């Protein structure tokens, strides 16, 4: 009971509360790997992310799907139009519930591993994912959250299988894997 009271007191007295924290796009990165023709793997990113963590521990990251960056403009265009259909579905979201008391009490330059449930939403599709996160308090007003290992997202689970097949056909490839490893490093900043 004493520990709970101390955590509550530390949260109230903390100069920076979680209700004040937002995602720093410049300090964040969301990457995924596509595999084509059986064993040709390429790394891609989404360049525009936003998000926040509320005082209740609800975290949300919004991915602007039109910001997909494969370093090949025609492929970016095809992914926007044929895979993500960004005219209809401009964003995907990831929601999680974080243990705020645990994170608020972290000292600067310390890290903790947290296992949490993420919910990836794209249009009407919702994909629950269990993720292991490395949370590092890199400054009094800055926290870094990173996946400790790639998260495998299956395109079919998000109703993207037809889009993957359309990309395969237009590119004349023998295959494009529907299993996509995803990694991320996200910075949340006070203010």
* pLDDT > 70 fraction of the chain, expressed in percent and rounded: 90
Helix, strand, coil abundance in the chain, percent, nearest 5: 30, 45, 25
Domain of 89? 2-190
Token reading at 59: 């975290």
Q: In b/e form, how buried is each residue of 124-162, taking b as 16+ CB within 10 angstroms?
A: eeeeebebebebbbeeeebbbbbbeeebebebebbebee
Q: Which residues of 69-90 are buried (b: 16+ CB within 10 A; e: fewer)?
A: ebeeeebbebbbebbbbbeeee
Write out pLDDT tens, residues 34-75: 999 999 999 999 999 999 998 888 999 999 999 999 999 999
Q: Which residue reads 């799907």 in tokens?
A: 65
Q: Among residues 187, 191, 180, 188, which one has the least CA distance to residue 31?
A: 180
Q: What is the mean pLDDT of the chain?
A: 91
State the CATH number of the domain containing residue 84.
2.40.128.110
How distant, in Å, are the alpha carbons of 68, 77, 86, 89, 92 from that of 72? 10, 9, 18, 22, 22
Query: Binning pLDDT at 50, 70 and 90, where does residue 6 land?
Result: very low
- Look at the chain and report how many structural domains it folds into: 1
pLDDT tens digits along 93-121: 999 999 878 888 899 999 999 999 999 99
Residue 163 gets which letter from DSSP?
H
Contact between 122 and 88 (Cβ < 8 Å)? no
Structure confidence at residue 189 as a pLDDT band (50, 70, 90): very high
pTM, entire model? 0.89
How far is Cα 58 from Cα 27, in angstroms, rounded to an integer?
20
Q: What percent of the chain has pLDDT over 90?
A: 82
Q: Name the band, by pLDDT with cuts 50, 70 and 90, for residue 190.
A: confident
Taking residues 8-30, report their average pLDDT.
Answer: 68
Scan for tokens 């490839």, then name that residue.
173
Average pLDDT over residues 83-98: 97
């Amino acid at each position: 009971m004493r520990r709970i009271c101390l955590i509550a007191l530390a949260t109230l007295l903390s100069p920076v509360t979680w209700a004040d924290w937002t995602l720093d796009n410049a300090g964040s990165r969301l990457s995924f790997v596509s595999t084509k023709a059986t064993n040709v793997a390429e790394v891609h990113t989404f360049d525009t992310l936003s998000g926040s963590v509320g005082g209740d521990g609800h975290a949300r990251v919004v991915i602007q799907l039109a910001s997909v960056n494969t370093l090949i403009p025609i492929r970016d265009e095809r992914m926007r139009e044929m895979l993500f259909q960004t005219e209809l579905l401009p964003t995907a979201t990831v929601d999680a519930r974080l243990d705020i008391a645990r994170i608020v009490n972290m000292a600067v330059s310390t890290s903790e591993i947290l296992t949490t449930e993420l919910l990836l939403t794209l249009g009407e599709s919702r994909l629950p994912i269990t993720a292991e996160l490395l949370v590092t308090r890199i400054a009094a007003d800055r926290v870094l959250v990173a996946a400790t290992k790639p998260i495998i997202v299956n395109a079919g689970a998000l109703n993207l299988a037809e889009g993957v097949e359309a990309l395969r056909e237009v590119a004349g490839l023998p295959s494009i894997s529907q299993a996509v490893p995803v990694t991320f490093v996200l910075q949340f900043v006070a203010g």
